Amino acid sequence: MLRGSPERELAASWEADAAAAAAAKSQAAEAEEQLGVDAGAAGEPERPAREEQPKAAGPAPVPARPRAAEEGDARPARRPPPAPPLIPPRPARTLCHLVKARSRGRGYRRGSGSLRPVTVDSSKARTSLDALKISLRQLRWKEFPFGRRLPCDIYWHGVSFHDNDILSGQVNKFPGMTEMVRKITLSRALRIMQNLFPEEYNFYPRSWILPDEFQLFVAQVRMVKDGDRSWKPTFIVKPDGGCQGDGIYLIKDPSDVRLTGTLQSRPAVVQEYICKPLLIDKLKFDIRLYVLLKSLDPLEIYIAKDGLSRFCTEPYQEPNSQNLHHVFMHLTNYSLNIHSGKFIHSDSASTGSKRTFSSILCKLSSKGVDIKKVWSDIISLVIKTVIALTPELKVFYQSDIPTGRPGPTCFQILGFDILLMKNLKPMLLEVNANPSMRIEHEYELSPGVFENIPSLVDEEVKVAVIRDTLRLMDPLKKKKEKHFPDICMDRKHRVPPVSDRMSSSKLKGSSLSVARSQHPENPFPGKEDPGCELTGDPDSNPEAHLPSICLKQVFPKYAKQFNYLRLVDRMANLFIRFLGIKGTMKLGPTGFRTFIRNCKLSSSSLSMAAVDILYIDITRRWNSVTLDQRDSGMCLQAFVEAFFFLAQRKFKMLPLHEQVASLIDLCEYHLSLLDEKRLVCGRSRRPQSSPPQEVNPTTQPAAGSPAPRMIGANKLSHSRHALS
């Protein structure tokens, strides 16, 4: 088993790490080839987009402490002095050069003959503003810090999709994402996948929802204990919607759950506690990985090659009744540990209480750990988790941005919190819809007096994530590629890393500065990447000054390995098809009946009366446990439960996932026949000479009537014509 390295290794120089990094990078690249996996990635502390919740009362709460300034906090943070210019001033150029630059580079685009930069509305960026500004300067895009009357290409929101009425462009949040990653919703979504694919989804600790499943929790724990007397579990109770360790406590027995008071008003998730985490320097740590959900349909996922590791500040011991309340030993939250006297601020990426994930991988690699395997496990955890989240996200999406109505397209950076177990298996702790993009940290000048100072480690990782997300979402990219075919996206490190932009006196002796100057891939302070010189004039390539993109595509790249898991996604497509009214997220009884009829699921053993009873039973139960009481009807999770029930009845003897897959195949088959029938009817009814008609979303035909082909498979599944 791998153990934490001794204390003195904390002070080890970057040179050693850099050497290991090179090895780590090449291994990671190999890993990609092997499983179909890329290297990269790590993470940081949750900055809630949600409001702070009251703490749970009871025996072992996280102690009330002053909080580090976090996302959503109203507390104004003292700003650090403005950062030095990111792009070194260019030498004086001739008029000819300038004209060329205006017309070809510097973020200015051709659009119907005129030139314009990509425009970004940053008025709602909140605490991600500093990192966003740096990114925009690097990209030479145009920022609108107070918004704009005309539409922008991109809207950057600090918190949620619903900050604004946006009718076009792209927004960096998906509707419903905040709801989807709440602890209870995430646990439910993952549980459905665990029921279908227990082996594949064993990266999420067994969880129960309180108070609803308290009796189930008690019964299941008792059952396992009865079967294995040596099992001495620990559980962690986490309030729903909480963040930064808020209200979290550990228990040894179900009877220790605080059932009264807060639990009724604030439900929670109780989860098996991972007792044997991997330790470094005897400390527990977790990983914050940044994941870009670039598109929902088709699914596109990217993972950042680096992230952050957040360390506890008290040496770890397996939980026992004496240490159960030791927050600094068991919880890795930055917002908690920053208040420990043992928190180490460091400008080095490989030391201190917050480090880059790549530095952890280097360390592990130098100890002989197979980091290719670690990476491929992490990538598969991320893809599987996103696969669990997307079905309901699609329901939110069609409700907020119905097909045929004007609206923006969406993308989102997610923060994945992952714990490596002692055996190096990654376990998912949670997903954050609004990972902190702050690039400063609190520094305690004297007891109780804090100042915000720039955090090099945060800036290094987060600016790259935001900048490269923007590059991937560049709305004019296709045009750019047409106009600048000589673009060299994979040039390495053309922007000096943060450390190189700090004054040398400030970084004197810092391991980061040593690291950068000696890093084999760092072209500074040397000459430009010779590959770029092929373009002749750097102005001919608007991204010539940028480093290679730090986000690696993992889906659809590895779709082949994971597509079989997307059963609930296919169920969601059926669900959406029968939803009927635009804007709704719940299926009415008529919609459910139509689903049964159109898919030919009723029979002598399943009458329509039985279908109605099934609908009422399941819907009533789900409506009593879900928080969303906005409209009545059957939510997606209830539909999934009904679907499982129908699949089990129809395809007895098979394992659940095969039963479900068979029923989906059957439904899709009948619906495709129906669609074809409609198409044929439509053709025969249409006068020969008339051209194909585009579907008018407000007058879509009812079920049984033709669905014109040109609306496409995707739109077809979103169309509401199935209701009759």
User: Which residues here bind ligand ADP, judged by CB under 6 A?
Assistant: 46, 205, 236, 238, 242-246, 248, 271, 273-274, 286, 331-333, 417, 419, 429-430
Q: Residue 246 or 440: which CB sits closer to ligand ADP? A: 246
Q: Considering the complex, what minimum distance in angstroms separates the CB of residue 83 from ligand ADP?
A: 29
User: How far is CA 538 from each of CA 287, 420, 468, rounded to the nearest angstrom?
Assistant: 37, 43, 19
Closest CA to 76 of 143, 126, 124, 135: 126
Q: Considering the complex, what minimum distance in angstroms separates the CB of residue 250 from ligand ADP?
A: 9
The answer to whether the beta carbons of residues 386 and 555 sit under 8 Å apart is yes
How far apart are the C-alpha atoms of 200 and 193, rounded to whole Å?
Answer: 9
How many CB atoms within 10 Å of residue 553? 16
Q: Considering the complex, what minimum distance in angstroms separates the CB of residue 281 from ligand ADP?
A: 16
How far apart are the C-alpha atoms of 38 and 35, rounded to whole Å?
Answer: 9
Q: Residue 271 or 398: which CB sits closer to ligand ADP? A: 271
Exposure string (b/e) for 691-702, b if CB count within 10 Å is 16 or more?
Answer: eeeebebeebbe
Q: Which tokens go with 266?
A: 């604030």
Query: Cα–chain-centroid distance for residue 663?
Result: 30
How far apart are the C-alpha atoms of 579 and 721, rounded to whole Å?
Answer: 10
Q: Considering the complex, what minimum distance in angstroms separates the CB of residue 467 from ligand ADP?
A: 26
How far apart are the C-alpha atoms of 102 and 447, rounded to whole Å?
Answer: 52
Q: Considering the complex, what minimum distance in angstroms separates the CB of residue 235 from ligand ADP?
A: 8
Query: Cα–chain-centroid distance for residue 2?
Result: 29
Q: Considering the complex, what minimum distance in angstroms separates the CB of residue 48 from ligand ADP?
A: 8
183-196 vs 656-685: helix axis angle to the nearest 10? 100
Q: Residue 248 or 382: which CB sits closer to ligand ADP? A: 248
| Cα Rg of the chain (Å, integer) | 27
Phi, psi of 262 (to 5 degrees): -60, -35
Specify the DSSP class assigned to residue 34. I
Q: Considering the complex, what minimum distance in angstroms separates the CB of residue 279 from ligand ADP?
A: 13
Q: Considering the complex, what minimum distance in angstroms separates the CB of residue 582 from ligand ADP?
A: 34
Q: Residue 62 or 640: which CB sits closer to ligand ADP? A: 62
How far apart are the C-alpha atoms of 358 and 375, rounded to whole Å?
Answer: 11
How many CB atoms within 10 Å of residue 682? 17
Adjacent-strand bridge partners of 540: none
Q: Considering the complex, what minimum distance in angstroms separates the CB of residue 187 from ligand ADP?
A: 10
The answer to whether the beta carbons of residues 209 and 188 sit under 8 Å apart is yes
How far apart are the C-alpha atoms of 340 and 270, rounded to whole Å?
Answer: 26
Q: Residue 141 or 235: which CB sits closer to ligand ADP? A: 235
Q: Considering the complex, what minimum distance in angstroms separates the CB of residue 390 from ligand ADP?
A: 21
How far apart are the C-alpha atoms of 147 and 152, rounded to whole Å?
Answer: 8
